[in-house]
Structure 1
Amino acid sequence: MRSLACWGMGIVIPAVLLLGCSGATDGPPRYELSGKALYEGQPIPFGRIMLEPDTSQGNKGPGSVADIKNGFYQTRSDVGHTGGNFRVTIMATDGTKPASADVDNSLFAPYQTTLKLPEEDSVHDFDVPRK
């Protein structure tokens, strides 16, 4: 009986793994976005880029987010952008842990801009100016 149970698990587990890795996802296709993230021409040490569909421009797709590390960012294709017009918010810190809750290590106030992305993987560099 034990060999029958092991044989059954030998079929069930690979089948579950195959279904879980098939790449099928719900919703529209997603694309990677990557590039440099700079502040006054210098690499942003640590931060985040948030892409929000610009509904006023007809984009009703899902949003996306990318972490910034050492001046570079990249979304993952499974949670990347869908193409179209986006409102972009960039937040950044100097990469250090604040000594207390009273310390703010942000490099700048959240920076907002807009961006039109193609329906394909793409590269876009951001350079946040001093306000």
Structure 2
Amino acid sequence: MAWRLAHACFARIIPVLLCVAALGCGGEKTYRISGKVTFKGQPVPSGKIYFIPDGSKGNSGASGYADIKDGQYDTAASGGRGAPPGPVKVVVQGIDPSSPPTKVNPKEDGEVKSKVLFAHYETTYEVPKSSSTKNIDVPAEAGKGPVAPKSGIIIP
């Protein structure tokens, strides 16, 4: 009898717990960011932009990102992801599309490196709790830095 009572309680409690757990797994809220990226006054033809939550300012979560095409980006476009609200570090990489990517190790599949316009430009932004526009003008000095990021590889 005690076994049947315990079984009946668990049979009712388990589905309720599963529903509560599923409702709590909605993930963090992210917001769309779009805009233009220029370098030396010209649209950046190709590249990547990342919106990394600034942990030093109490922000956390997954990074937002987007491809830069013809000087424009949109985290809502295919291959992109919105960013969590709050302070973020914005990292921009500009790639020269006139130089074809080359394999790091021609005998293997995998990583390729590309000629860069500028390897790494960083600024900050406060992501609002709504869709927003952030235009970025990468200064000419960014192109005078190293020709590749610390890893030496950009994966387009």
TM-score by length of 1: 0.73
Alpha-carbon distance, 1:110 to partner: 0.8
Match of 1:128 in 2: 138
Match of 2:17 in 1: none
Matches within 5 A, 1:1-131: 26-76=26-76, 79-98=81-100, 100=102, 104-131=114-141
Q: Aligned partners of 2:102 and 2:27: how far apart in 1?
A: 42
Match of 1:14 in 2: none
The aligned length equals 107
Q: Which runs of 5+ in 1 are unaligned?
A: 1-24
Q: Which has the higher contact order (CA 8 A, sep 6+)?
A: 1
Closer/same/farther in 2, CA of residues 107 and 60 from structure 1, 3 Å limit: same
Match of 2:146 in 1: none
Instruction: State the percentage of identical aligned residues.
Output: 37
Alpha-carbon distance, 1:82 to partner: 1.5
Between Structure 1 and Structure 2, whose CA radius of gyration is higher? 2
Match of 2:10 in 1: none
Match of 2:14 in 1: none
TM-score by length of 2: 0.62
